[in-house]
Amino acid sequence: MKTKQLKVKTDGLLTKKELNHAVETLSAGELVAFPTETVYGLGADATNSLAILKIYQAKGRPSDNPLIAHVGSFNQLKRLVKYVPTYVEELIHHFSPGPITYILKHNHVCSNKVTAGLDTIAVRIPSHPVALQLLKACEFPVAAPSANLSGKPSPTSAKHVLKDLAGKIPLIIDAGNTGVGLESTVLDCTGDLPVILRDGSITREMIEKVLNVTLKQSEQLTIKTPKSPGLKYKHYAPAIPLILIQGNKEKIRTEILAYQALGKKVGILLSDQTAMKLDLKSNFRLGQTIEEIASNLYDGLRSFENMDYDVIIAESFEKKELGIAVMDRLTRAATKII
Ligand code: AMP
Ligand code: MG
């Protein structure tokens, strides 16, 4: 299959003809990769089981790992679920459209292949203008996991999507680099208060402030049968080993030298500040702020596997605010943490 590319200018939208083509492709039960503000999604009509099976096939994704249904408005969201708790309305008011996903009891509108047979569904309204344009034009919800091969770092550019899925999907909408760079915050909203199942750029502090409550620490990342099925799988891992260094930054230099002494080609993934402090040349510029680091992280992980490096040495970041999500992804990507 040839993968057709539709290029959208930065801050631009699809033309009417392009939009029709994308909607028709989805309506015909085919897959369309599209940009969101977090990462690129691999979309299919969420009411069409055969279309959803194509997502699992193209990604090589385990079929017990449910997908997020994407919609363009609160009204479209309400059509998929039994009820919307008051606190979810409040969160939607503050954070949606945006990088946050709500897990709610569903009403069987979506295929049970989307929900992996659970009685709940994950729903998100993304804020990327092209994603919103596409979702508003669809009469159906669009199920969309990240548009990468299962287990690999999520795609933050169309180039990443093509590396993993060229020839396997008919259409990709290319709108340049995504902004946030990490997947959405996932909230279980089936109880009296939300529980964070996956950290993202909408942080615990931001949610607590809006709801004026203190949330339980999420135990989901460590328990054996996590409430979010996806958490039990290996994620975000580049094709080469990644060593994550905690604590004293001098340990980074020691590790690099040790691998180089073995004749290994070492990819170094550091913030600009640490690179300067250690007087080391980072082979990929992650940037300075935690927002830049989040935005560039997956491109960094992917860049090393393209350039025949043997190992990646990565720095740890402070586990606060967005740093919590960055460390969650790095920890899951790591082969070894020292
Ligand atoms: P991805 O598609 O890679 O962005 O991952 C979506 C995440 O949401 C995975 O970790 C899924 O396991 C999780 N998820 C999706 N639907 C549900 C649901 N109904 N209940 C719990 N977790 C879910
Ligand atoms: Mg994913």
Mutate to test the pocket of ligand 1, among 183, 186, 223 (most ligand atoms within 8 A of CB): 186
What integer pLDDT is reported at residue 221 of this predicted model?
44
Q: Which one has a higher pLDDT value, 235 or 226?
A: 235
pLDDT > 90: percent of the chain: 88
Please give the pLDDT value at position 230.
Answer: 63
Rg (CA), the chain: 20
Query: How many angstroms is it from 14 CA to the middle of ligand 1?
Result: 28
To which residue do tokens 């295929």 refer? 111
Confidence of residue 8 (pLDDT cuts 50, 70, 90): very high
- Residue of 207, 81, 43 lying closest to 197 (CA atoms): 207
Ligand lying closest to the C-alpha of residue 104: 1
**Distance, CA of 141 to CA of 160 (rounded, Å):** 25
Higher pLDDT, 305 or 228: 305
User: What confidence score (pLDDT) does residue 223 get?
Assistant: 39
Burial of 232 (0-12, 13-18, 19+ CB in 10 A): middle
> For residue 92, is pLDDT > 60?
yes
Output phi, psi for 333, to 5 deg: -80, -20
pLDDT value for 233 = 62
Ion ligand 2 neighbours (CB, 5 A) are: 145-146
pTM, rounded to two decimals: 0.95
Q: Which residues pair with 146 in a beta bridge?
A: 41
Q: How far is the CA of 43 from the centre of ligand 2 (A)?
A: 12
- Sign of the alpha-carbon torsion through 93, 98, 101, 105: positive
* Other Cβ atoms closer than 10 A to 184: 27
Supply the pLDDT for residue 68. 98
Residue 231 has pLDDT above 70, yes or no: no
pLDDT band for 278, please (50, 70, 90 cuts).
very high
Checking if the pLDDT of 44 tops 50, the result is: yes
Q: Which tens digits make up the pLDDT trace of 137-175?
A: 999 999 999 999 998 999 999 999 999 999 999 999 999
Instruction: Choose among 17, 2, 114, 25: nearest CA to 69.
Output: 114
- The Cα 70–Cα 180 span in angstroms is 17
Helix (H, G, I), strand (E, B) or coil at 34: strand
pLDDT digits (tens, 9 = 90+) for 180-199: 999 999 999 999 999 999 99
Q: At what angle do helices 16-27 and 129-137 cross, to 10 degrees?
A: 60
Query: Which residue's CA lies nearest to atom 4 of ligand 1?
Result: 145
Which ligand lies nearest the alpha carbon of 148? Answer: 2
The mean of the pLDDT values for the chain is 93
Can you give the pLDDT at residue 224? 42
> Per-residue pLDDT averaged across 268-272, rounded?
95
> How far is Cα 305 from Cα 149, in angstroms, rounded to an integer?
14
**Sheet (strand 100-105) strand order:** 4-7, 171-174, 32-34, 41-45, 142-143, 68-70, 120-124, 100-105, 185-188, 195-198
How confident is the model over 99-114, as a mean pLDDT? 98
* E strand or H helix at 11: none
pLDDT value at residue 11: 76
pLDDT at 226: 56
Instruction: With cut-offs at 50, 70 and 90, classify the pLDDT of residue 238.
Output: confident
pLDDT tier for residue 237 given thresholds of 50, 70 and 90: confident
Bond from prior residue into 97 cis (ω within 30 degrees of 0): yes
pLDDT band at 63 (very low <50, low <70, confident <90, very high): confident
Judge contact between 280 and 312, C-beta under 8 A.
no
In this predicted structure, the answer to whether residue 235 has a pLDDT above a threshold of 80 is no
pLDDT at 220 over 70: no
Q: Is the pLDDT of residue 43 over 60?
A: yes
Contact residues of ligand 1, CB 6 A cut-off: 65-68, 103, 115, 118, 120-122, 145-146, 183, 186, 197-198, 227-231
pLDDT recorded at residue 193: 95
Ligand 1: nearest atom to the Cα of 118: 19
| Rounded distance from Cα 146 to ligand 2 centre (Å) | 4
Q: For residue 10, what pLDDT is reported?
A: 72
